[in-house]
Amino acid sequence: MHQSPRHYFETRLRLASTPMAAATRLASSGLHADYVVYENGGTWSYAGGALAQITLDRDGARLRQPDEVHLPWDGRPLQQVQSLLDAVQIKDWRAYGWAAFELSYAKDGDLRHVGDQRLLHLVVPHTEVRIEGAEAYLRSADQGTLAAFLEVLVAEGAEPSSVPSPVNVRQAGADAYRRAVGLAVDAINDRRLQKVIYSRVVPVEHEVDFVGTYLAGRRGNSPARSFLLSLGGIEATGFSPEIVVQVDPGGRVTSQPLAGTRALTGDRTEDERLRAELLSDPKEIYEHAISVKIACDELLDVCAPGTVDVEEFMAVKERGTVQHLASRVSGRLAAGRHAWDAFKAVFPAVTASGVPKDAAYDSIRSNESEVRGLYSGAVLTVDQDGAMDAALVLRSVYRQNGRTWLRAGAGIVGQSRPERELEETCEKLGSVGRFLVPAAEPVGTGVMVGGARP
């Protein structure tokens, strides 16, 4: 039977607090167990609960709104996701969610390297708040919840200020990482691949306040995007240095490869010296150049002829505790293509996988101790009008199944040295590891199931 599109109740509100404080207050309110906070270009969005939910795993794609539609795996997973989004019966929807790194193995239909984990999780929220400047735009599926959110936003209260408890990021897995880098350099010199990104995991032994960490970390970082989420059984907060892909409603596509790294020390003279070193280091320049080439090649597959262009090349972007070489590649989608075609073309980001990608995947699986999951995947928004914004998940802290951890990697090419690549992971881990705020009280160790805490 045909369902009429659902509508939101809407209102606007002038805020006395900052957008970041307002968004995190909503996350802390407890009004929804599952939520996403996403920062994009000075706009903070909060998405809580789910009017519709789309998930993807090796069994296929599912839409719940609330009745379930299941599309069994047919080898075209992102096309199935698009089909289910087209079936969402909510006017002017925006979906929020995440994609795991392992989706890269399966996006072309190959399930050999995919386990039982979820590959993608999207929600069209029950309640959504978008905050820009001093104005908040609220919409909710029911007036009672809308009133409750208004009450949270107008409540008086100082912005929380917690004291972080930094973790030592230098020791965990360091020897194994050095050995892995040496093996990668050998494989590159044997021409089995050109570049690969290996990562290492740093356990966090104390319980973490994710909202407090987001506030402290966002104040100390300068990300391209930031996020705070509790969705699909995983909690994470992060300060993404780059986008995977951005698509506007008119079909303009942008990707932003960052590759090549030096520390930001806070000492202006030293940072300028490191910046000059970064811009002249043959290893860093080569690593960056091949990443930009791959980004161009990938967009050529989905963009109209003659529209792909490198708009910015080898600028230096400051991202928290590091500075990167950064470029911006753009194009216009070819006729008949949509945002998910662009996402499929570029995901995972070449700056978090390697060149060529298939060889890099094999090398990553052989040399990393565990699956990546959300690390080096994407947190994203998708709109009914065809727009998409996908942030690369790096510089983040994660919690799942009672375990909390950090993770970071470095780009390895033929000129790489194990000690320098290890140091680079430490520099990147500092963007999060020094801002971890301890939880005030012990938290439960259960995984959220079906949007509620057990």
Q: What does the H/E/C string look like for 23-37?
A: HHHHHHCCCCCCEEE
What is the distance between the alpha carbons of residues 106 and 110, in angstroms, rounded to a whole number? 5
Eight-state DSSP code of residue 352: G
- C-alpha distance across the termini of the chain, in Å: 34
Eight-state DSSP code of residue 70: E
Look at residue 120 in the predicted model and tell me its pLDDT: 98
Q: What are phi and psi of 284, to 5 degrees?
A: -65, -40
Residue 202 forms part of a structural domain: yes
What's the average pLDDT block by block, 10 residues per block, for the chain (454 residues)?
A: 68 94 95 97 96 98 96 98 96 97 97 96 98 96 96 80 90 96 97 96 97 96 97 97 97 96 94 96 95 96 97 94 95 98 97 96 96 98 98 98 97 96 96 95 41 32
Q: Which pair of structure tokens corresponds to residue 187? A: 């494989």
- Active centre residues (catalytic): 242
What is the distance between the alpha carbons of residues 370 and 205, in angstroms, rounded to a whole number? 18
Look at residue 3 in the predicted model and tell me its pLDDT: 47
Look at residue 87 in the predicted model and tell me its pLDDT: 96
Look at residue 422 in the predicted model and tell me its pLDDT: 98
Residue 370 forms part of a structural domain: yes
Q: Count Cβ atoms below 10 Å from residue 138 Cβ, excluding itself.
A: 23
Residue 16 burial (C-beta neighbours within 10 Å; 0-12, 13-18, 19+): exposed
Look at residue 320 in the predicted model and tell me its pLDDT: 86
Residue 74 forms part of a structural domain: no
Look at residue 440 in the predicted model and tell me its pLDDT: 85
Residue 305 forms part of a structural domain: yes
Q: How many domains does the chain fold into?
A: 1
Residue 366 forms part of a structural domain: yes
Residue 4 forms part of a structural domain: no
Look at residue 441 in the predicted model and tell me its pLDDT: 62
Residue 268 forms part of a structural domain: yes
Look at residue 2 in the predicted model and tell me its pLDDT: 41
Q: Bridge partners of 137?
A: 12, 130
Judge if the upstream peptide bond of residue 257 is cis by omega within 30 degrees of 0: no
Q: Which pair of structure tokens corresponds to residue 98? A: 């995440």
Q: Find the domain containing 289 and state its range.
A: 174-433
Half-sphere exposure for 34 (CA within 13 Å, toward CB): 25
Helix (H), strand (E) at residue 239:
strand 234-240
Residue 75 forms part of a structural domain: no
Q: CATH no. for residue 220?
A: 3.60.120.10
Long-range contacts formed by 167-173: CB under 8 A, 24+ apart: 167/202, 167/204, 167/205, 167/406, 167/433, 167/436, 169/202, 169/406, 169/408, 169/425, 169/426, 169/429, 169/430, 169/433, 170/426, 172/200, 172/201, 172/202, 172/203, 173/200, 173/201, 173/202, 173/369
Helix (H), strand (E) at residue 374:
none
